[in-house]
Amino acid sequence: MITSGTGIGWRPELALAIDRDRALSFVEITAENHPDLARLPAHLHQLRERGVAIIPHGISLSLGGAERINVQTVKHLGALAREFNSPLVSEHIAFVRAGGREAGHLLPVPRTKASLAVLVENVKAAQDLLEVPLALENISALFDWPCDQREIEEAEFIECLLDQTGAMLLLDVANVFANTRNLGGDPIAFLTRMSKLHLAYIHMGGGYESADGIYHDTHAHDVPQGAIDLLEELAAFSPPPGVMLERDDHFPDQASLATELKRIRDALNRGAARLRLAGDCRSPLA
């Protein structure tokens, strides 16, 4: 697999805690936070020398947008990958701007044949400019498009997208938790289908539920137990690739961060144990 073990989203506020956790096998960097290759944090190079993989992750490419992609944004992802000898880069199945306005966040794309065709064309254009594989991430949203704009269900939409582009999936399990909570759907059925795709790595971010029952995917709170349970289910289907924690604000102290990572590792171990047990039951007795 292209990634393994556990990782974390690198942020300057977390650098010390990341440095002290020798069990981390990869970190993800947000490409837009590091626009200048001449001024990359020295810590990233130190991690690289230690054997920690570094995965550039973009947030502004707007692959699902109607506009053609910005070549410079893709090239910057590629340049970061070259700098750190990264195994891959990643972006989102989303759009972030339209009609001359920036949304400031990832928005879901309509799930029609026409929008899939645009997305596929944009992804292929990005892949043509990259020397490493591209992984695409499922996002979370508080709303969905109207019925006539979702002729393809999300799982099938992602399957078609990967099939037509050869891209890998960056599976955000916490986003699956968030979307099924806020918009409905069966998270286990969704994950079962996703587990059969070419997985690059897995995101686990935190959030909270507001008084009106809406779940907010903030990356500023602990990972909800429901998302941890889904990760265990995923690991019980098949051995997953690398799994990483996303934390973007309200940074915890080192002990709390270690606890969050331990919850992830424990869920993976529980899932792996169930998978072994299931395998033992299937195999004929010697």
Partner 1 sequence: MSDANRDNLAAAQAKLVAALTAGDDSPAGFDDDRLHLTARTLLTKRRQAIAKIWPVLAESLDDRFAAMFADYAQSRPMPAEGHAADARAFAEDLLSQRELPDSGCVALLLARVQTGWPIRLIRLFQKKRWAIAIRIWRRIRWLRLPF
Task: Name the site residues for partner 1 (rule: CB under 8 A).
Answer: 32, 65-67, 95, 97-105, 107, 110, 114-115, 117-118, 121, 141-149, 214, 216, 249
Nearer to partner 1, 111 or 263 (CB): 111
- Residue placing its CB nearer to partner 1 in the complex, 211 or 286: 211
Provide the minimum distance between the beta carbon of 143 and partner 1 in the complex, in angstroms, as a whole number.
Answer: 4
Residue 190 vs residues 116, 153, 171, 194, 225: alpha-carbon distances, Å: 19, 10, 11, 6, 18
Q: How far is the CB of 233 from partner 1 (least distance, A)?
A: 27
Least separation, in Å, of the C-beta of 185 and partner 1? 15
| Alpha helices in 21-112, H assignment, sequence order | 42-49, 71-83
197-211: b or e for each residue (b if 16 or more CB lie within 10 Å)? bebbbbbbbbbeeee
Q: Can you state the angle between helices 113-129 and 71-83, rounded to 10 degrees?
A: 50
Closest CB 199 distance from partner 1, rounded Å: 28
How near is the Cβ of 75 to partner 1 at its closest, in Å? Answer: 17
DSSP state of 38: G
Non-local CB neighbours of 283 within 8 Å, separated by 6+ positions: none
CB 261: neighbour CB atoms within 10 A?
22
For partner 1, the closer of residues 2 and 94 by Cβ is 94
Decide whether 98 or 278 has the Cβ nearer to partner 1: 98
